[in-house]
Amino acid sequence: MKFWFITGAQELYGEETLRMVASDSRKMVKGLNDGGRLPYEIKFTTPVTSDRAITKLMQSANADPDCGGVITWMHTFSPSKMWIEGLGILEKPYLHLHTQFNREIPWDGIDMDFMNLNQSAHGDREHGFIAARLRKPRIIAAGYWQDEETQRKIADFMAAAAGAAESRNVRCARFGDNMREVAVTEGDKIEAQIRMGWHVNSWGIGDLADMMKEIPDSDVGTALDDASRRYEMATDDIAEVRNQLRVKLALERFMKENGVTAFVTAFQDLHGMKSLPGMASQMLMEDGYGFGAEGDWKTACLLRVMKVMAKAKGTKGGTSFMEDYTYDLTKGSEAVLGAHMLEVCPSIAGTKPKIEVHPLSIGGKEPPARLVFESGESDAINVTVIDIGGRLRMIVQEIHTIAPLHHMPKLPVAATMWQTKPDFASAAEMWIRCGGAHHFVLSQQLTYADMKRFADIMGIECVRIGDGVCMESLGQTLMINDIAYRLGI
Ligand code: MN
């Protein structure tokens, strides 16, 4: 994926000035690419000086599957009526970079030629007006282009655009429907595909059971050797560990063959399976696949998108499917214990995962192998997407993950704990007020700002719960958003 650098100008200043515009733009593209801070390459395009050239360029950007987005910058003044058609049809993520070629004013040499060439200070305002007038979703980044902070802003835009590109491509395989009678993991799959691009389709669990039979024993043996090196073997039930590895290999083969990057399982639908995929799901999440338990396809798709964004950001820590398990309500140090029946991604592990086999109290199948570990400490977010009726709402809760306060020898699952912002009770009240799910994606690698950029590109509501947010301000935000979405603003 590449991002197109589009420099705006106009014919008025003559050929010499336009040659300088092109030459400076090339230097900036090279400098940005050589800076080593961008997850994707920027591609130089010839500066545009007419409405026809702008429209043609935007058509090409739309048609190129490898174009991740466009970055516009006005070196000179570029009258914005020229941009109406082009920006109007633009479908790719759009960053307006507000910078200028020179850092300092050349005090002794500044003359009218310099002024004609270097007009970003007001040329970018003309450009910003037309994007505002067109209600065009965009990200605006201001700052000197050689500065680290400015380049980080471009990198952040690229990460959100990478999430958007991935979102349009996510294919989620459902092995089983939602857990019976559960509401929040339900939703309109058609709306999710229209708005987010999430393709959610169903396969029979029997198909997966058949695929498992086709996995050669030797492949399972190799996977067992690999797992024994990566994790600590803490069980004698090697047959079940091999079973989980066989599930993992079958799922992996199935997903590669079908172009699928996310999947869900359901403990109420395991016909032909020996046990619920626990360790298998954990290892696939670690490899970057999206996953949702109990048929939760929304969280599975979201996890896949966030894995791609986290990779583009290159930040430390992990990103996992998660559930609020139970609370520790010790006054003043309230914390949430987060875990799941089995399926937590080892990317958030602060300790070496142990392979253990224990019975599950529900589902009626054999005891499944799972990876057991405790998380590390980090700032993080919990992100959920719910179907609020006719549209999707994303809720982002700012948290701080900590290792569990005490060991839990009788709870044989991977676990983390976290403290919520602004405080325990307010955060819980606000999450519940928004309708946030008990399933979400926990990420130590992404922030609210990352998710907001992504949500803006996709055109969905994104609500923050964290420091500085209170129930009154949140209530107003939700009310205004409701009106805005009903009016189609
Ligand atoms: Mn669950």
What are the tens digits of pLDDT across the range 181-196? 999 999 999 999 999 9
CATH of domain 2-167: 3.40.50.10940
CA distance 305 to 1: 16
Band of pLDDT at residue 152, cut at 50, 70 and 90: very high
Long-range contacts of residues 191-196, Cβ cutoff 8 Å, at least 24 apart: 191/387, 191/390, 191/391, 191/392, 192/297, 192/298, 192/301, 192/387, 192/392, 195/391, 195/392, 195/458, 195/459, 195/460, 196/167, 196/168, 196/170, 196/301, 196/392, 196/458, 196/460
pLDDT over threshold 90, residue 363: no
Ligand 1 midpoint to CA 249 (Å): 24
Q: How far is the CA of 280 from the centre of ligand 1 (A)?
A: 17
- At 39, the pLDDT band (50, 70, 90 cuts) reads very high
Q: What's the rounded mean pLDDT across residues 337-353?
A: 96
325 Cα to the center of ligand 1, angstroms: 9
**Who surrounds ion ligand 1 at CB < 5 A?**
293-294, 323
- The pLDDT-based confidence of 489 (bands split at 50, 70, 90) is confident
Residue 321 CA to ligand 1 centre (angstroms): 9
Domain extents for the chain? 2-167, 171-487
How many angstroms does the Cα of residue 153 sit away from the middle of ligand 1?
36
Residues 206-242: tens digit of each pLDDT: 999 999 999 999 999 999 999 999 999 999 999 999 9
Q: What is the mean pLDDT of residues 115-129?
A: 96
Tokens 């498992």 correspond to 212
How sure is the predictor about 364, in pLDDT bands with cuts at 50, 70 and 90?
confident
Query: Out of 58-72, 87-101, 403-417, which region has the weakest mean confidence (pLDDT)?
Result: 403-417
Average pLDDT over residues 248-262: 97
Band of pLDDT at residue 132, cut at 50, 70 and 90: very high
β-pair type (439-443, 262-264): unpaired
pLDDT at residue 191 in the model: 94
So what's the pLDDT on residue 151? 98
Dist. CA 439 → ligand 1 center (Å): 6
Cα(322) to ligand 1 centroid in Å equals 8
**Band of pLDDT at residue 361, cut at 50, 70 and 90:** confident
User: In this structure, are residues 59 and 89 in contact, taking their beta carbons and an 8 Å threshold?
Assistant: yes
Residue 288, pLDDT score: 98
pLDDT for 77 equals 96
- Quote the ligand 1 centre to 97 CA distance (angstroms): 42
CA–CA separation, 433 vs 38, rounded Å? Answer: 38
Instruction: For residue 46, name the pLDDT band (cuts at 50, 70, 90).
Output: very high
**Chain segment 417-443, per-residue pLDDT in tens:** 999 999 999 999 999 999 999 999 999
pLDDT of residue 309: 98
Question: Once rounded to an integer, what is the mean pLDDT over residues 376-392?
Answer: 96
Given a cut of 80, whether residue 202 has pLDDT beyond it is yes
Over the chain, what is the mean pLDDT?
96
Q: Report the separation in Å between the CA atom of 246 and the middle of ligand 1, taken as the mean of its atom positions.
A: 23
